[in-house]
């Protein structure tokens, strides 16, 4: 069963995570600029997008870019690495720790075919021999605690995920995140609470439950049904960077804070862009920022007319002008 030092703190090896709600790794989204924006609303723990161990070892420029961090990042950030070669994974763990990350997270849950073809991600979790070798190598090489994120097996009667969780615990992994869906479900379909609970109640590690959280009430139900120590939130936080703080507050106090005003959200979005521009340059940041703008605006009242502009922003001025319009309350309310 997961061990929490108090209702809002979880210990992962030597690292104290000051909250129960985490930002899940999302390729293309959970890079430093976005994590900094989420941290402005209060995010205690976040995970980078999955990072190629081989890319780190080869010092690939685009891969190393994913190691960017800052003083305004989330208080605790784990760098998530993936790969199938134990030597490469071990070396990548050292690189991550040298970059200042307090935790190394091993990806065992990515369902993308291009990752599984490499015998990495979700494919690795089903190979007990390879999994033990990699877990042992990464834990031995890493000067910081090692965690892992995994998915469930396709068949509910298949206990391979539970066996993998036990194996990881035996090899010294300090915490787990379990996505409560099978590989072939992707990000859709029901979450298997029972399977996650079986893992959380079996391994002597903190377990974060992941999958299907859209609201604070969803997070509360996931924690209750799985007996997990914490909850990890993914895509719902992309459009609502304040959601993690809402969940933390709700779990602690039973009340959901008022949503930020459109002007406050616009300010956070601009902050996000400026961090991205400082990292990548204005033009490159603007191109990549389109996906973030579309996510931020999606579902906001009165914002539908802004979506075509969001898909074409090319510079800071474009973003600032769009957000100036967005910050105005729509005619049918905030």
* Residues recognised as catalytic: 110
Sign of CA dihedral 26, 31, 32, 33: negative
Three-class secondary structure of residue 22 per DSSP: strand
Q: How far apart are CA 251 and CA 136, in angstroms?
A: 35
Residues paired with 208 in a beta bridge: 177, 230
CA 319 to chain centroid, in Å, comes to 25
Three-class secondary structure of residue 137 per DSSP: helix
Nearest to 82 by CA among 115, 129, 131, 125: 115
Q: How far apart are CA 66 and CA 48, in angstroms?
A: 7
- Residue 328 corresponds to which tokens in the numbers above? 């105005």
CA dist list (Å): 167 to 14, 97, 198, 263: 21, 23, 15, 49
CA dist list (Å): 101 to 105, 177, 309: 10, 18, 36
CA 30 to chain centroid, in Å, comes to 6
Nearest to 33 by CA among 272, 194, 326, 241: 272
User: At a CB cut-off of 8 Å and minimum separation 6, what does 67 contact?
Assistant: 48, 51, 56, 79, 95, 96, 99, 101
- The burial class, CB within 10 Å (0-12 / 13-18 / 19+), for 299 is exposed
Residue 5 belongs to what H/E stretch?
strand 4-6
Q: How far apart are CA 106 and CA 171, in angstroms?
A: 13
């Amino acid at each position: 069963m997961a061990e929490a030092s108090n209702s809002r703190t979880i210990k992962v090896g030597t690292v104290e995570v000051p909250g129960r709600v985490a930002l899940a790794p999302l390729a293309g989204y959970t890079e430093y600029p976005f994590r900094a924006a989420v941290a402005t609303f209060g995010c205690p723990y976040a995970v980078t997008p999955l990072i190629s161990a081989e890319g780190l070892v080869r010092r690939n420029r685009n891969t190393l870019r994913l190691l960017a961090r800052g003083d305004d990042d989330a208080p605790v950030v784990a760098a998530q690495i993936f790969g199938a070669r134990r030597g490469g994974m071990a070396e990548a763990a050292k690189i991550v720790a040298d970059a200042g990350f307090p935790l190394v997270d091993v990806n065992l849950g990515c369902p993308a075919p291009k990752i599984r073809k490499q015998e990495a991600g979700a494919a690795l979790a089903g190979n007990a021999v390879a999994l033990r070798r990699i877990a042992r190598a990464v834990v031995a090489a890493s000067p910081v605690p090692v965690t892992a994120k995994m998915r469930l097996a396709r068949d509910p009667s298949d206990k391979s995920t539970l066996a993998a969780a036990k194996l990881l615990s035996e090899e010294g992994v300090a915490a787990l995140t379990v996505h409560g869906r099978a590989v072939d479900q992707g990000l859709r379909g029901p979450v298997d609470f029972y399977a996650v609970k079986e893992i959380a109640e079996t391994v002597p590690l903190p377990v974060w439950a992941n999958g299907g959280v859209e609201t604070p009430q969803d997070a509360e139900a996931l924690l209750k049904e799985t007996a997990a120590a914490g909850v990890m939130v993914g895509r719902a936080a992309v459009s609502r960077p304040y959601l993690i703080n809402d969940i933390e507050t709700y779990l602690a106090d039973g009340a959901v804070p008022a949503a930020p005003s459109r002007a406050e959200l616009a300010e956070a979005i601009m902050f996000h862009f400026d961090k991205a521009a400082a990292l990548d340059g204005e033009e490159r940041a603007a191109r990549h920022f389109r996906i973030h703008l579309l996510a931020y605006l999606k579902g906001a009242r009165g914002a539908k007319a802004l979506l075509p502009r969001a898909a074409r922003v090319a510079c800071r001025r474009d973003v600032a002008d769009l957000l100036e319009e967005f910050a105005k309350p729509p005619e049918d309310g905030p």
